[in-house]
Amino acid sequence: MQTADFKKILKRLERVVSQWDAPVVTLIARTGEGPFRVLISCLLSLRTKDETTAPAVQRLFAIADTPQGILKIPQKEIEKLIYPVGFYRVKARVLRQVSSDILSRFGGRVPDTMDDLLTLGGVGRKTANLVLSQGWKKEAICVDVHVHRITNRLGYVKTRNPDETEFALRRKLPVASWRVINQILVAFGQNHCRPVSPHCSTCPVAKDCSRVGVTHFR
C-alpha cells in the first residue's frame, strides 16, 4: 500500500471516529491538564480495558493528580483507588516510584524526551511515545496492539511486533500524521476493526484493506 492511500484511509477514519468512544488516555489529554495525567493514565491502562481504566483514573485524580499528591497516599490506599485495573498492586507501587523519580531526578517535571522517559520504571516505548505525543504535543508515534494490528492488516507495513511497527511507520508515514494515528486507530480497533472477526461488511475502509491475516469477519 502506498503512503498516499494510507493517508486517505486515515482521513476517512478521522471523519467517522467521533462515532466511537475515544481511548481514555486521549480523553485525559484533551483536558489539557498536563503530561503527568497522561503518564499516569497510560500506566494504569496497560493490559486493562478502558471501561475499567476510566473510573479508576477518575477516582485517583479526585484525590491526587501530581507527583507530590501521589506520594502522600499510602500504597494500600492507591491499590483501593485503582482496583480492579490489571496488576493493580504492582501499578500502585509503580505510580509511587515514578512520582518519586520525577521529583528527585527531574525537578517535579515529567521528562519530555524518549531517553529520559524510558528511565522511569514501568515506562516502555508505547507509554513514552504517548506522553510525548499527547502530553507534550511532540511529534511521536505511539504504537500499541491496535496500531500494530491494523497497519499490518491494511497491508501498509509488514512487521512482527509493535516496536518494529513504530520504526517502520517512522520511515514511511509523514510527520504530520504521527500524533493522530494512535487516536484514530485505537478507537477504530476497539470499536470496529477487532482482533477476531472484525466488522468488515460495514467497514468504512473495507475496499482499500488487504485483510492480511483475516480468516473470519462479519
CATH number at residue 158: 1.10.1670.10
Number of domains in the chain: 2
Domain stop point among 120, 135, 150: 135
Same domain, 44 and 99: yes
Q: Give the orientation angle of helix 35-45 with respect to helix 50-63, to 10 degrees.
A: 140
Domain stop point among 135, 165, 186: 135
Handedness of CA 109, 70, 183, 86 (dihedral sign): positive
Same domain, 59 and 95: yes
Residue 217 lies in a domain: no
Residue 1: count other Cβ atoms within 10 Å of its Cβ: 15
Give the pLDDT score at 137. Answer: 92
Residue 18 has pLDDT above 90, yes or no: no
Same domain, 186 and 114: no
d(CA 184, CA 204): 13
Instruction: Print the domain residue range for 9.
Output: 3-20+141-208
Number of H helices, E strands in the chain: 12, 0
Q: Is 47 helix (H, G, I), strand (E, B) or coil?
A: coil
Percent of the chain with pLDDT over 70: 97
| Distances in whole angstroms, Cα of residue 101 to Cα of each of 4, 24, 33, 111, 216 | 43, 25, 20, 10, 47
CATH number at residue 120: 1.10.340.30
Residue 29 has pLDDT above 80, yes or no: no
Give the pLDDT score at 47. Answer: 87
Residue 150 has pLDDT above 90, yes or no: yes
In the DSSP assignment, the letter for residue 43 is: H
If you average pLDDT over residues 139-148, what whole number do you get? 95
Per-residue pLDDT tens over the stretch 77-94: 999 999 999 999 999 999
Give the pLDDT score at 33. Answer: 67
Per-residue pLDDT tens over the stretch 171-186: 999 999 999 999 899 9
Q: DSSP characters for 92-143?
A: HHHHHHHHHHHHHHHTTS---SHHHHTTSTT--HHHHHHIIIIIS--S----
Residue 74 has pLDDT above 80, yes or no: yes
Residue 75 lies in a domain: yes
Domain stop point among 105, 135, 165: 135
Asked if residue 160 lies in contact with residue 180, where contact means CB atoms within 8 angstroms, the answer is: no
If you average pLDDT over residues 172-201, what whole number do you get? 93
Residue 111 lies in a domain: yes
d(CA 132, CA 201): 36
Residue 149 lies in a domain: yes
Residue 214 lies in a domain: no
d(CA 180, CA 39): 18
